[in-house]
Structure formats: structure tokens, C-alpha cells
Structure 1
Amino acid sequence: MIEAHHLTKRYGDKTAVTDLGFTVRPGAVTGFLGPNGAGKSTTMRMILGLDAPTTGRVTVNGKRYAEHRAPLHEVGAMLEDRSVHTGRSAYHHLLALAATTGIPRRRVEEVIDLVGLRQVARRRAGGFSLGMGRRLGIASALLGDPATVVLDEPVNGLDPEGILWIRTLLKELAAEGRTVLVSSHLMSEMALTAEHLIVIGQGRLIADTSVAEFVRRAARDTVLVRTGEAGRLSALLAATAASVVPGEPGALEVTGLSSERIGRLAADHGIALTELTPHRAPLEEAFMELTRDAVEYRAPERAVPGAAPGFVPGAVPRVVPTTGARAVPTAGAGRRGGAA
């Protein structure tokens, strides 16, 4: 596991991380999320011993990174995929890493095939595209067949096939019992890949919970209902705890009541429904809601021509998360065997 206890990191008069604590457990892909400037990179550097905490402690498999006799066999990481000699080929970059850490040459061949770089393995890394550089960085991280994998923005620069590949790989690594921590700004990809989320903002913990619980607590789900008796159904729904917003003729958008209860209510009163579709708010919406007070750089709001007064692109309704999953108020607001 990765365990962080009361991590604080200061650079001069700037505090990047404040009293941060969390546990990343094996067997699941954990997404590490936060706005720009939230402290994600600083935290990942402290996990890998590249930065020393001002106070607090972080361990990997019970030890600080520097205390492991063979760190590359314990933790595989990619924080900067361009940390490669530009005149060296992908093959010789990996071979050099292997030679200095007691890893056999055959493992170099295995990871080259694993990440799909066989055809360009002898080319100079300086000429690699962003996506190829990402694949080489991931190959470096997996070279020691580590029990823990830490990746910063692994899908950045990858084409759709590459994104699907890394998504599948991460899930397979977790299914083998490894600890997998992945940071990303692509909420749609995290929704498909991660099972658990650690969210920080302005260096503080915002949430440490499952993806499903994070979305459920932070954003409101709606149900789209279509019926020829929208007026009568709307009046019945208004008598409950539901919020009803009329849409196009015959359509209602209902919040605060499950599709099952809406269907039962309609049936009890003899109202025929032509559509009853629940809509689960996306991870992106939940993320924006819980981190809106932790955004360091915010563009000025601009009106959209023709839009309703007060409409702001990308804005979501302000919803206060209820208690339950671990949630902390935002600052300002109170071995894959031999083949991996």
C-alpha cells in the first residue's frame, strides 16, 4: 500500500500540501484528481522520495521509498516521460535501467512488446511523439515488475487505441493485486478506469471514496419522463419531495425521486409513460462541483449569445454533498507475472 500521514510540504512561503493523509490499497485502480495547482505532482514526488515532506511521512509497502533495497522492483513510476537521453534508443534506455538495477535483458524485450514499441525500439527517443514517449515511460515504470505503480497522466498524447490499451492494462495490473495510483485530468477516462478516488484541492484532501459514491454525493441525478399527461403527473410529483422541470411538450425532468418511485406513482394514478430514463450525473460534473472552491486559476465568466440569463458554460448547479463517504470541505469553503 501507499500510506500518507499528515503530509505537509512548503517551498519558502508557499505551502503546496497541507496535512494530507490517505491510503492507496492494492487490487483497485485509484484515481488521483485535483485542479491545476492542487498539489498532486508534489504529493507524487514525495511518494517517490524526490521531495522530502516538511512534516509528515509517506511509505510504500511499509517503507519510505529510499529505504527499499531495490526500489524499482517495489515501485514503478512515470512522472515525466521525457526524462530520457534524446540520443539514446528506447531499447538502450530500458537496457541501461535494467543493467543498473539487476533486471535481466529478457525483461527489456518483454516490456517493449507489452507497450507496443517493438517497431521503433531502435529509434532515438528524441524523435518520439508524445504518445510514444508515454509508452516508453510506462515501459520504464513496469520494467522491475513492481507491486506498486504510480503514473502521472498516462493517457496524455495517446490515440484512442492507446487509451483503450492503457485502460485495460491498469485494470489488469490491479486485478493481479497490485497497487495502482493514476493521476489524470480526463474525467471521462477516470470514470471508465478508476474504482476509487482521492481528490485534493489547494493541497488539502477533498474526498477519499469510491467513484460511484463520489458522483452520488456530489451531483444530483435526474430522471427524464415522457407522458401524454405531463400536467397531471407534474402536479402529483410536486406533492412529493421531487423537483420537476418541464421540458419539450410531454417531457419532464425530475430530480429527487427515483425512476422506480416515479413509475409506481404514475401507475397508481393510471398515467401511461412513454419514457422513463434515469440520468446519472457524470464524474466530470461531480468533480467540478466539489473542487469549485479549490480552483487556483479561473477564467472570467462569459455570457453565451442566445443563452438564458446567468448561463455559464460548464457550470453545474451548486449542491452541498451529504454526509456518508469520507468528504472534507474544500479549502476556502470551510505482478502482472513476467509480462508486466
Structure 2
Amino acid sequence: MDRRPGLSIRLKLTLSYAGFLMVAGALLLAVVWVFLLRYVPAGDFLPPGDFILIGPDRYDLWRAFAPRVAAALVCLLAFGLVGGWLLAGAMLMPLARITDATRLAAKGSLSHRIWLAGRRDEFRELADAFDTMLARLEAHVAEQRRFAANASHELRTPLAITQTLLDVARNDPNRPAADLIDTLHAVNARAIDLTEALLVLSRADQRSFVREEVDLSLLAEEAAETLLPLAEKRGLPVHVSGEFTPTAGSYALLLQMTTNLLHNAIVHNVPEGGEVWVTTGVEAEHVVLTVENTGERLAPHVVATLAEPFQRGSGRTRGDHAGVGLGLAIVRNIATAHDGTLTLTPRAGGGLRVTVRLPRVDHPTGKSK
């Protein structure tokens, strides 16, 4: 933004200090003058000179007092300007460091930090807030770059497979078309799923949704009903229980989050004798959605990476419903967009426990669902 040049903050503070000092000095001298007029008798005052003037206006007192007042005010002005300039410079020195760091950040250097020393005050709080912002921004940019690289790799895979199939079909005209169509259909469906997942992630990151009151217990029931055929096909009972859990957010995104969690619990389960539990509850300031499933034993270091984009875990992906590696990443982003948290914990007997905490809403914010 183009702005016309103006006075610097340092000069403005200097003039403010000097002006305040002049006003304070003038008030002090005015008090002295009033004191002299009221309590000093005219005949008792001997000005430097050869006569005494006794009268109601006391011209002799004013003639002696006025030059000294002017000299004092001139000294106060000079002292205020010099002292104000030095004091303003010392006070604004931390702001100069913050400005330099801001310019570096504007040029793309997100690794720079201010690290302003000293006890806490307004400038230190501003510097600490700026350092925190830079740290989060640096982490976000690194995550986005990693995500873009992974997304490019994942999208390139189905495109490369499609290209290979088409090349084979061109070189082998006698190959049955039905096999080619079926394979292309499966590859194309996977690419569509990946694209839709990326769109959901983008929508959650931008927080471009209208908040309304949502009951997580109803979402859990709806997601379980939707995925019931998949669970029955795999012979997995889904246990849904809980109480009224009001929160605020996007009904569609929170339903997507719940569905992803339940789908993940069904797909990554043991071949026989597995189970899935979905529970909702209320804490002091949060509502809680917990999804647990039986499954293979997971190491803590593996669990810590499952919410990263395109991370599926060793041996956890199999079958046509394995997904594109964005299920838990979408869940984490949706939870974060709703000011919530996602916690992954390995179960002692095998499997995974996923806990989502969202802010509790005691008063409706819109249409309830």
C-alpha cells in the first residue's frame, strides 16, 4: 500500500514528551506565580533595582519573575527534546528488531526469530507472538510442501498406470477390451477418490463453512448405518453408544470425519472375530468422540505417523476399501478446523483407539441436527 511520508514514531514521541514537559513546567510556574501573588506582600518584595513599587498590580514582581519564567521554559523545552529523543530511541529499539524480522519474513525467511530478551512487557509479548506465528507458519509451509509432493506422487501413480494400460492396448489389439475397461475403471475410481479427499482437506484447511449446532451422537449413528453393509460383509459388529454431545461446526464435515473414522476401524481390522466401538461423551469443556477397533498390534512410533497424509502404516492396507491414505489426515484437519484435537492410541490387545475432542456448546448457534 502506497502511503504519503509522515513523521516517524520516534519524532512523534519526542514531541509528545517535550510538549508534556512544557505543559507540566508551565503549570508549575503558574502555581509559583499564584503563590507569590497571594502570600507575598508587595512591600516585602525587593526586586533588583533602585525602587519599590507598592500597588495592586505588582508590576515589580512580574518584571522580576517573567524573564526567569521564559528562561526556565526554554531550558525545559531543550531538555524535553533531547531527553525525549534519547528516551524514545531506547523505548523503540525492540520495535526496530521486530520490524527487521518482519521484513525478513516478507522475503521468505521463515526460520528467523527475534528472541527478544528481558522481562515481559508489551514489546516482549509482541515479539513472542511474532516468533510463535513464524514457527507455526514455517511448520505449515513445510507440511504443505510435503503434502504437495506426496499428493503429486499419489496422483501420478494412477495416471502412470492408465498410460501403461493404454500403451499395452495399443500394442496388443487382440487383448480383451473387458479386462482393460475393468482395470481402467478401478484406477479411475481411485483417482477420483483421491481428488475428492484432497478437496475435503482443502475445504477444512480454509474453514470455509457455516457453523451450526451438531450432535456427535447422531452423526455416529448415521455413519454406522451408512457403513453397516461394509461391516456385515466383513463380519464385524459395530457397537454405538453415548449421550447427547452438542458442538458447533459443519454438519457435512463432521459427518465426513465420523464416517472416515468408522470406515478406518472397519477396514483395518482382524480377519475374524473383530469388533468396532463408537462412543460419544461430554467433558467439562469438550465433547468426545471415540472410535476403537480390534486389529494388529501397532507400535507407538507407527501410530504417531498415521494422521500424516498418505501414511497407512505397515501392513494396514489391504482390499478394495483401503483408501488413499488420507482418512485420518482428513479427520485431523477437520478436527483442527473446528478447534478440536485428534489423539491416536494403540490398544493393548491390538488395534487402535482414536479420540476426537471438540469444544462443547451449551447454547444453540443455529439449526440443530
| TM-score of the alignment, normalized to the shorter chain, above 0.5 | no
Task: Work out which structure has the larger RCO, using CA pairs closer than 8 Å and 6 or more positions apart in sequence.
Answer: 1
TM-score by length of 1: 0.20
Specify the structure having the higher radius of gyration (Cα).
2
Higher helix share: 2
Which structure: greater strand fraction?
1
